[in-house]
Amino acid sequence: LVDGKMSDISAIELVYLLRYEHKVMTPIWFFSEVNKQAYLTKALEVGVNRIFQKPFDPIALSNEIIHYVLHLN
């Protein structure tokens, strides 16, 4: 889970580092207050699997995580 609003490093840069430097392959769910298509496209390009716009539905998020965990194999 990555929040699009971070203070020390950009969220896009963090996802890039996770994917390409540290080779993390687990799904990355990204939470964004920014609704600009170029920003969201960049997030997907660097490896975000799913984007949730803030405010988001916590039930939908929980259901998605549960679905992922139950279908790992």
Q: Which residues of the chain, if any, have pLDDT below 50?
A: none
Q: Which is it for strands 50-53 and 2-3: parallel, antiparallel or unpaired? A: unpaired
Cβ-Cβ contacts under 8 Å for 30 (sequence gap 6 or more): 2, 4, 11, 15, 43, 48, 49, 50, 51, 52
pTM of the model: 0.82
Work out whether the CA dihedral 39, 41, 43, 46 comes out positive or negative.
Answer: negative
Give the tokens for residue 15.
């996802």
pLDDT at 72: 81
Give bridge partners of residue 53 from the DSSP assignment. 32
pLDDT at 73: 65
